[in-house]
């Protein structure tokens, strides 16, 4: 009754990192609660996925054959059936885009209290989860009432599970109610190709909300030109249509690994950091000394970009 059922994730034939992180998170919870860790892998080449997922700490891997790709209607039904079979205390799901597309429905259908985007948790008979609020400006702990719970875990907060395990692999048979499948994935589209591939750049000057207005772009473009950098941005700049999508760094944009990443007016939301933390050297210019970007920066200027950037451009002209 204190088991954990963790749901893995794959896309276009490959398991995603979240699958191995959710194993670590699941093992932690299963140890706290004194139960087993069950994994579910739904759709795709489940047998080959099960081989890869057989890491240390996994007790059982349930394979659910059904179609190639993620379909939330199938996922919800499969998890519901597994839940009824296993009666776990915890259903753990990645807080990914696809996680957001099925986890709330799972919780609703199974009448489980739901905590999303957890960055930590403890269980000693009572579940306490750690979450952020107000755009990562505060952390909170949340006590959850109940005996069984649905939790989604934030990516990159738990380590990837390593080591070879000796999990039992078990094919889970269930009949999909096709009438309840009312959405169809018809394909995928790569976005963000264009004139420049920012993922190849050695020096990136990246801008965020702090530049305030589109009219301020030339100020940055002057710096880019003087230094030979590549211009990129965080999400709001692209949402506003000031730069094309292929310039966006972050979870839903490009992953970049430059030698130097100069973040100008970027607060450093977790979704942005996911795309640029692989930079060798991170430099931030921001007026807010508490901006999360300073937590990962190597060098920083707490100041007004409208004063600092022209001076910096001057240095290279």
Q: Of 74-133, which residues contact another protein (CB under 8 A)?
A: 76, 95-98, 100-105, 107-109, 113-117, 128, 131-133
* Nearer to another protein (CB atom), residue 50 or residue 115: 115
Of 57 and 104, which CB lies nearer to another protein in the complex structure? 104
Q: Does 56 bind another protein (CB under 8 A)?
A: no
Closer CB to another protein, residue 168 or residue 314?
A: 314
Instruction: Give the span between the Cα atoms of 213 and 72, in whole angstroms.
Output: 39
Minimum CB separation of residue 60 from another protein in Å reads 27
Q: Footprint of another protein on residues 142-171 (CB under 8 A)?
A: 142-146
Asked if 252 is part of the footprint of another protein (rule: CB under 8 A), the reply reads yes
Interatomic CA distance for residues 23 and 167, integer angstroms: 12
Contact 59, 161 (CB under 8 A): no
Query: What does each C-alpha distance from 282 to 94, 164, 218, 227, 286 come to in angstroms?
Result: 28, 35, 23, 16, 13
CA distance 35 to 37: 7
Q: Looking at 24-32, 39-47, 136-144, 214-222, which segment touches another protein (CB under 8 A)?
A: 136-144
Residue 163 or 186 with smaller CB distance to another protein = 186
Least distance CB 123 / another protein (angstroms): 14
Closest to 49 in 3D by CA, of 12, 96, 15, 98: 15
Could you tell me whether strands 90-94 and 149-153 are parallel, antiparallel, or unpaired per DSSP bridges? parallel
Distance of closest approach, residue 313 Cβ to another protein, in angstroms: 8
Q: Are 192 and 245 in contact (CB under 8 A)?
A: yes
312 makes contact with another protein (CB under 8 A): yes
Task: Show Cβ contacts of residue 154 under 8 Å, excluding neighbours closer than 6 positions.
Answer: 95, 117, 118, 119, 270
| Residue in 52, 60, 66, 136 binding another protein, rule: CB under 8 A | 136
Q: Which of 84, 140, 200, 218 binds another protein (CB under 8 A)?
A: 140
Rounded-to-integer distance, Cα 294 and Cα 284, Å:
7
Q: Backbone dihedral region of 78: left (phi > 0), alpha (psi from -120 to 50 degrees) or beta?
A: alpha
Residue range at the interface with another protein (CB under 8 A); choices 24-32, 49-57, 135-143, 169-177: 135-143
**Minimum gap (Å) between residue 258 Cβ and another protein:** 8
Question: Nearest approach, Cβ of 260 to another protein (angstroms)?
Answer: 5
How many residues of this chain bind another protein (CB under 8 A)? 101
Among residue numbers 292 through 311, which ones bind another protein (CB under 8 A)?
294-295, 297-304, 307-309, 311
- Phi, psi (rounded to 5 degrees) for 262: -100, 105
For another protein, the binding residues in 183-242 under the rule CB under 8 A are 183-192, 202-203, 226-229, 235-236, 238-241
Q: What is the number of residues in the chain?
A: 317
């Amino acid at each position: 009754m204190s088991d954990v059922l963790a749901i893995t994730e794959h896309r276009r034939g490959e398991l995603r990192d979240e699958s191995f992180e959710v194993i670590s998170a699941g093992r932690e919870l299963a140890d706290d609660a004194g139960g087993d860790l069950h994994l579910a892998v739904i759709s795709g080449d489940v047998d080959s996925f099960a081989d890869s997922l057989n890491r240390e700490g996994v007790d059982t891997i349930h394979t659910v054959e059904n179609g190639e790709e993620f379909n939330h209607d199938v996922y919800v039904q499969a998890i519901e059936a597994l839940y009824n079979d296993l009666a776990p205390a915890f259903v753990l799901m990645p807080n990914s885009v696809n996680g957001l597309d099925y986890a709330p429905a799972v919780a609703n259908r199974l009448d489980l209290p739901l905590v999303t985007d957890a960055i930590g948790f403890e269980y000693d008979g009572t579940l306490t989860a750690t979450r952020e609020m107000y755009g990562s400006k505060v952390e909170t702990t949340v006590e959850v009432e109940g005996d069984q719970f649905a939790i989604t875990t934030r990516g990159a907060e738990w380590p990837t599970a390593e080591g070879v395990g000796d999990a039992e692999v078990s094919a889970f048979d269930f009949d999909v109610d096709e009438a309840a499948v009312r959405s169809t994935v018809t394909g995928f589209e790569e976005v963000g190709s264009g004139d420049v591939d920012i993922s190849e750049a050695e020096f990136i000057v990246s801008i965020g909300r702090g530049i305030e207005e589109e009219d301020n772009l030339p100020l940055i473009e002057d710096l880019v030109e003087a230094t030979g950098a590549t211009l990129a941005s965080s999400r709001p700049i692209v949402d506003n249509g000031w730069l094309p999508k292929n310039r966006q760094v972050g979870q839903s944009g490009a992953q970049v690994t430059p030698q130097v990443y100069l973040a100008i007016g970027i607060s450093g939301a977790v979704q942005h950091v996911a795309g640029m933390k692989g930079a060798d050297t991170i430099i931030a210019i921001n007026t807010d000394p508490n901006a999360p970007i300073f937590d990962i920066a190597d060098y920083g200027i707490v100041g007004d970009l409208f004063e600092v950037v022209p001076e910096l451009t001057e240095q290279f002209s």
